[in-house]
Amino acid sequence: MSKLLVSPSPHVKSGNTTTKVMLDVIIALLPVVVASVFIFGFRRLLVIAVAIASSVLSEYFFELICKRKSTIKDLSAVVTGLILALNLPSTMPLWEVALGSIFAIVVVKMLFGGIGKNFANPALTGRIFLFISFSSAMSNFTSKYDIISSATKVDTLTGATPLEMPKEFLPSLTDMFLGKYNGCIGETCKLALLIGLVYLLVKKVITWHTPITFIGTVFVFSWILSLCGMDIDPVYQILSGGLFLGAIFMATDYVTSPQTAWGKVIFGIGAGIITVVIRQFASYPEGISFSILLMNILTPYINDWTRKMPFGGKKQ
């Protein structure tokens, strides 16, 4: 008889793996991809393909050069590329898309030690990098849903997102919900994003805490500001920009968000407040990426503050 294996307990595993978790995220994003391509055309698919390919390849080559074990089969690079692409306008030059992916993977993820070690969400930081480097390309949202007709088109409004539009040009709430307006690839169709959210919740990949408190805070805070006499519509605030995409897919990133339930709530509320502050009082029209990034930095502290006393534990 061959030798018996002696290993520590437990001798059974749930069978869950990082790859399966990442695959679930990809599946949850599929409705967004489909809706986006269906509404806006195939150029978007090209941007997504370039972003994913350059993410995976840069992780592969980085690990090859550094003589590390390849981790591309955990699919996390695919998720990074996909989420980054969904954060970009479809008109983005492809080389800029690739550069964003390489920055996200190499600088934000691999230089900090690879999967599980980065302090900021790679896709989101990649978006900020592109936003700062190529700000005109990042806000060029020409598409077949140019709401503002050519007759009234003013240069400064070309391809503006609803966040920057004067009130009379705003799309209807139904269009906002279904995604028939200008915006980044994955931001516009709220219906598809919500399907993704439900999928992730059912599969227990994420918990409700961050998405609900994030979106809820943006709504409540905007509503309070409107009561104070500011020109702000809470419903448009939650339906426009990258709020749903950010709250569902980026603020819930495991590595860069708190693990405790209260921590997730604080993360959501904090990100919500910062978003509204940036949208209303800063020079950028959109504040999702910055708000999540700032909360990413606070994550270790939030985790410490919200640590629960284990069952039966006594304070020292």
Partner 1 sequence: MLFSKVHGIHVKHNKFTANSSPERIPTPALIRVPTQMHIGAPAVPVVSVGNAVKIGTLIAKGMDGKLSSPIYSGICGIVKKIEEVKTSLGTTTYINIESNGENDIDESVVPPTITGKEDFIEAVRLSGIVGYGGAGFPTYAKFNVPDGKIDTIVVNGAECEPYITSDTQTMLLEADLVIEGLELVMKYINVPKAIIGIEKNKPQCINSIKNAIKNDNITIKPLPALYPQGGEKVLVYNTTGRIIAEGALPLNHGVIVINVTTLASIAKYIKTGMPIVEKCITVDGTSVANRKNVIAQIGTPVKYLFDYCGGFKTEPKQILYGGLMMGNAIPDMEAPVLKQTNAVLALSESEVKIPEITECIKCGTCYRTCPLGLMPFEISRAYKLNKPEELEKLKVNLCMECGCCSYVCPANKELVQQNKLAKGMLRTYQNSKKEVK
- Which C-beta is closer to partner 1: that of 160 or that of 292? 292
- Which C-beta is closer to partner 1: that of 144 or that of 204? 204
Shortest reach from residue 200's CB to partner 1, in Å: 12
Shortest reach from residue 42's CB to partner 1, in Å: 33
Whole-angstrom CA distances from 23 to 39, 60, 198 are 24, 18, 15
The site for partner 1 (CB under 8 A) is made up of 1-2, 4-14, 16-18, 20-21, 71, 74, 76, 114-117, 254-255, 259-260, 307-314, 316
Shortest reach from residue 186's CB to partner 1, in Å: 22
- Alpha helices of the chain — where are they, by DSSP H? 18-40, 43-65, 76-86, 94-102, 122-133, 135-138, 173-178, 190-202, 209-227, 234-239, 243-245, 261-281, 288-305
Residues contacting residue 314 through CB under 8 Å, at least 6 positions apart:
none
- Which C-beta is closer to partner 1: that of 229 or that of 312? 312
Write phi, then psi, for 313 (nearest 5 degrees).
-70, 150
- Which C-beta is closer to partner 1: that of 74 or that of 187? 74
Shortest reach from residue 18's CB to partner 1, in Å: 5
Contact by Cβ (8 Å): 188, 171: no
Shortest reach from residue 17's CB to partner 1, in Å: 5
Nearest 10 degrees: CA dihedral of 160, 54, 30, 292? -60
Shortest reach from residue 8's CB to partner 1, in Å: 5
- Which C-beta is closer to partner 1: that of 18 or that of 140? 18
Considering only CA atoms, which of 137, 45, 139 is closest in space to residue 99?
A: 137
- Which C-beta is closer to partner 1: that of 11 or that of 144? 11
Give the tokens for residue 72: 């591309």
- Which C-beta is closer to partner 1: that of 253 or that of 286? 253
Shortest reach from residue 232's CB to partner 1, in Å: 35
Residues contacting residue 209 through CB under 8 Å, at least 6 positions apart:
261, 264, 265, 268
Place of tokens 């906002």: 176
